[in-house]
Amino acid sequence: MRPRSVLTALTVLLIALLAPLGASAHATAAPSATFGKSSDWGSGWEGRFTLTNGSSTTINGWRVEFDLPAGTSIGTYWDSLLTKDGQHHTFQHREYNATIPPGGSVTFGFLGNGPGAPENCTFNGQPCTGDPQEPGELGKPGTPTITARTDSSLTLSWQAATGTPTGYRVYEGSDLRTTVTGTTATISGLTPCSTHSYTVRAYDADGESPASTAVTGTTTGCTTGPLPRHFLTGYWHDFVNPAEELRLSQVPDEYDLIAVAFGEATTRPGEVTFRVDPELSAALGGYTDAQFKADLAALQNAGKKVILSVGGERGAIRVADAASAQLFADSVRGLMTEYGFDGVDIDLENGLDPTYMEQALRTLHAATGSGLIITMAPQTIDMQSTAGSYFRLALNIKDILTVVHMQYYNSGTMLGCDQKVYGQGTVDFMTALACIQLENGLRPDQIALGLPAGPGAAGGGVVAPAMVNDALDCLAKGTNCGSFTPSRTYPGIRGAMTWSINWDVTNGGAFSRTVGPHLDTLP
C-alpha cells in the first residue's frame, strides 16, 4: 500500500464530484480500508487507516491485518487494539468504534518507525481495496492464538474463514499436523520446552484457502536454570544512600538471587569494572574487596546466587558496535572469574542497542556455559511494545534469558495488555502490565514483578508487600485479582524483585518476610 500524493487525491476528489451518482454508488459497493501517511519525518511517520462501509449492511466489529517489511515497526497507536506476530499486525475495533453503518467510516492511526508501509492488507478477511471475494471462495482463517500449553501439547484457536469450509487443516511448515471441523485444535506428542510455528487453512471440496498468519508457541516444562521455580531477587547497594549500609553477609535469608548494584563504565566503550565503593567501605568500618569476595562465596555455599548488575539510573555503559560488545563480554567474564559472580543483570536505564547487546550476551554465554544467569530490569515504558529496544533484546535472547524483573515503580500511568490505562501502586497495574510480556513472546518463568521495598525506596509505586502477593496469586492462580483479570493463568510466573535489600532492611524486612515465603505457595 502506498500513500497517495496530494495531486492524486485532488484528482480522485474531482472525478468523484463530477461522476454520476449511480457510478459513485457502484464504485463503493464493498467495504474498503485506505492507508495514508499523514506525516513523514524520514526515520518515522504517522499512518492512518480510513475504513469505509460502502455496502448496504452495517459492519459490527472490524479487523485490519497487514504485514510490515523488515526494518519497519509500529510504536504508539490509537482508536484500535493491536496484536503482533513478528511483522504481521492485527488492529481491531475498540468498544466505541466497532460499528460502521452503511456509507459510514471510522479511522485509526499509529506511529511507524522505519521506511516501510503496510503490505498484504485485509479488512475483515477481504482485500483492503474492497475487491469482493469470488462467490464460494474460502477466505483465510483469522490469526491463530495459543490458548493452552502443556509439556507435550499446544492448543490453538482461530476465527472462522469466510465462505463455507468443510473444516480446517493445521500445518507446521509444509507438514500437516491435524484436521478438524471446528476452530480449535490441540497438537499433541510434542517435547517439553519446544517451540513450534503453525498456520491454518480452511478447505472444502474445491481445495484450500490461503494460509492464516503463523502463530508460534512453546510447550511448558522448560528448565528454569540454577534457581528455584519461584524465587525472590533483591538489589544490594555498592554505594551510600539514605538506606542502611550492609555487608553481603547481612543479606536476609529470604533472598534467593542477589544483584550487586552496580558495575560501572570505564573510558573504553563497553568495558565494565567493579570494586567495593570506598565510601561504602568506610561506612562499614573498612569493608574490603577480599571480605566482599568471602561473603559472596558464603552466600553461594548457602545456595544463593549473586550476579553483577550493570547500569542503573546514572549508568553510562554503551554497547553500540562489535568491538564494545566483545569488550563487554570479556570484562564481565573477567569480573565473574575474579569475584565469583554467577551472571549479569542488564539495567541500562539510558538506552541500549539490542543488536550489539545480544551479541555481547551470547558471547558471554558461549564463554561461561549454560549456568550463566542473565536478568534484565527494564522500566515500564521499555516493555510497552515489542518494538522497543529492551523488549526486542528480551525476545532475541529468549533461549538464554533467565528472567525479566520490570520496574513497576517511578512510572505513573501505563497501558495494560487490554489497552486500558492503569496507575502504579495497584494490583491491576502489576497484572495488566505483566500480561503484555506474558502474551507477547516471553515465557511465564521469564517474568517477575519488580517493586520497591517500602518508603524511601522509590519516588512512586510503593505498595504493601501483601499487594505483591495478590498480584502473584492473580497471575499464577486467577485469585485475588483487581478489576483486571487475565484471560488465563500463568502458574510458572517466576517471582518478585525488590529495590532494594538495603531499603528492605531499613524498613524492617517486611518485603522479604512477606513475599519470600508466599512464593513457596505458588503452583
Residues with a known catalytic role: 349
Q: How do beta strands 272-273 and 231-237 pair? A: unpaired
Q: In what order do the strands lie in the sheet with 44-52?
A: 32-40, 44-52, 105-113, 73-78
Cβ(414)–Cβ(422) under 8 Å?
yes
Cβ(444)–Cβ(490) under 8 Å?
yes
Residues in a beta bridge with 185 = 156
Cβ(378)–Cβ(407) under 8 Å?
yes
To the nearest 10 degrees (0 to 180), the angle between helices 465-477 and 427-438 is 40
Q: Which three cell numbers stand for residue 412?
A: 505513573
Q: Positive or negative CA dihedral for 37, 40, 44, 46?
A: negative
**Cα separation, 468 vs 481, whole angstroms:** 11
The b-or-e profile of 44-53 (16+ CB within 10 A means b, else e) is: bbebbbebbb
Residue corresponding to grid cell 497471575: 475
- Residue (of 345, 348, 405, 415) closest to 385 by Cα position: 415
Residues in a beta bridge with 215 = 198
SS3 23: helix
Residue corresponding to grid cell 506474558: 438
Q: How do beta strands 403-407 and 447-452 pair? A: parallel
DSSP summary character for residue 487: S
Q: In what order do the strands lie in the sheet with 184-187?
A: 145-149, 154-157, 184-187
- Residue 197 CB contacts under 8 Å (≥ 6 apart), including other chains: 172, 173, 214, 215, 216
Q: Which three cell numbers stand for residue 242?
A: 539514605
Residue 59 vs residues 9, 10, 63, 80, 93: alpha-carbon distances, Å:
26, 28, 11, 16, 11
Residue corresponding to grid cell 492511526: 109
Q: Which three cell numbers stand for residue 355?
A: 543488536
**How many other CB atoms sit within 10 Å of the CB of residue 440?**
17
Nearest 10 degrees: Cα torsion 457, 303, 260, 336: -170
DSSP summary character for residue 72: -
Residue corresponding to grid cell 500513500: 3
Length of the chain: 523
